[in-house]
Amino acid sequence: MFLRGRDVENPVLLYLHGGLPEFFLARKHRSGLEDLFTVAWWEQRGSGLSYVPRLPPATITLEQMISDTAAVTGYLCRRFGREKIYLMGHSGGTFVALQTAARAPQSYHAYVGVAQMTDQLRSERLAYEYMLQQFRVRGDRRWVRRLERAPVTMEGGTPRGYLRLRDPAMHPLGIGTTHDMKSVVTGILWPIVRSPDYSAREKIALFRGKASAGVSSLWGEMISTDAAKRVTELALPVYFFSGVHDYTVNYTLAKEYLARLRAPLKGFYSFEHSAHSPLFEEPQKAQRILREDVLAATNRLADQE
């Protein structure tokens, strides 16, 4: 992990990434998290700094990832002398973080879900329909043909052909990693290659981990799980940050889920100019919410229902 912060007395926050570690994006977009917290940018089992060659994907289970998160939480509490820390998940990281918070609410001041996964198969179906419609409107017959050959259905799930097309198709439409990112190559590949924080070997591990294991190994369970049925209550404050242009993890589904979720305090925050990464796309707004609502244990800045 990377441990970063401006003041060791600040609250501690554990960050769970999605399919790819995101410290390089935090550096590029200057999220400002480290002004408010001591942040543990943890690169989870099988990913990035934690990548191990020939790690069998079968060893990466939800139970193991929850156990890992609890262990890292305990380590951070001991290291910084805290009884509780803050927990933040992004994208696929929310799948693990949400369920960790549900099991051990006593370990966390609050849970923040950024691009919160809910019913991911339904989300993928909505993304597929949106992309197909948009490419038809644009008259892009090449993309229409490619998507039509790999349909996402509630019965058949997400075929491999679709998963190969998914990111390259989303980014030109502004519904992928960030609303303004038009290419995975320029938006992700090159920032990793140019990052001063990783050695050459560690950069290779980032890509190998993405391709072989890490959080993505949980994909089958992610798309077969409806969070609204599995986690109906959290015994701690919960906040969702969601970009209105996000189809990687559907904005509307996240909002519907939080409306049903029982919690002592909750807030949903729409980011009008963001897709999948509101923390990086609208950092000033995210910082204000974290400072004035999350750290103050209120929800005054949340969307009005």
Mean pLDDT in order along the chain per 10 residues (305 residues):
95 94 80 94 90 81 94 98 97 96 98 97 97 97 96 93 92 92 79 85 82 72 91 98 97 97 98 96 96 98 89
Domain boundaries, the chain: 2-119+220-294
Which residues have C-beta within 8 Å of that of residue 227, sequence separation ≥ 6? 95, 98, 116, 117, 118, 119, 257
Q: Which two tokens stand for residue 87?
A: 């927990």
Place of tokens 């209550």: 233
* pLDDT computed for residue 213 by the predictor: 59
Q: Are 49 and 17 in contact (CB under 8 A)?
A: no
The residues with which 174 forms a beta bridge, in sequence order, are none
The answer for 140, left when phi > 0, alpha when psi is -120 to 50, beta otherwise, is: beta
Instruction: Record the pTM.
Output: 0.94
Q: What are phi and psi of 138, to 5 degrees?
A: -75, -10
* pLDDT computed for residue 207 by the predictor: 79
* pLDDT computed for residue 21 by the predictor: 86
CATH homologous superfamily of 2-119+220-294: Alpha/Beta hydrolase fold, catalytic domain (3.40.50.1820)
Strands 108-114, 238-243: pairing is parallel
Q: Which two tokens stand for residue 89?
A: 């998940």
User: How far apart, in Å, are the Cα atoms of 97 and each of 13, 55, 181, 248?
Assistant: 12, 22, 26, 18
Rounded to an integer, what is the distance from CA 85 to the centroid of its chain?
19
CA distance 4 to 24: 13
- What type of residue is 249? V
- Biggest alpha carbon–alpha carbon distance for the chain: 59
Place of tokens 């006593």: 106
User: How far apart, in Å, are the Cα atoms of 123 and each of 128, 209, 241, 286?
Assistant: 9, 24, 17, 24
Cα–Cα–Cα angle for 251, 171, 130, rounded to 5 degrees:
50
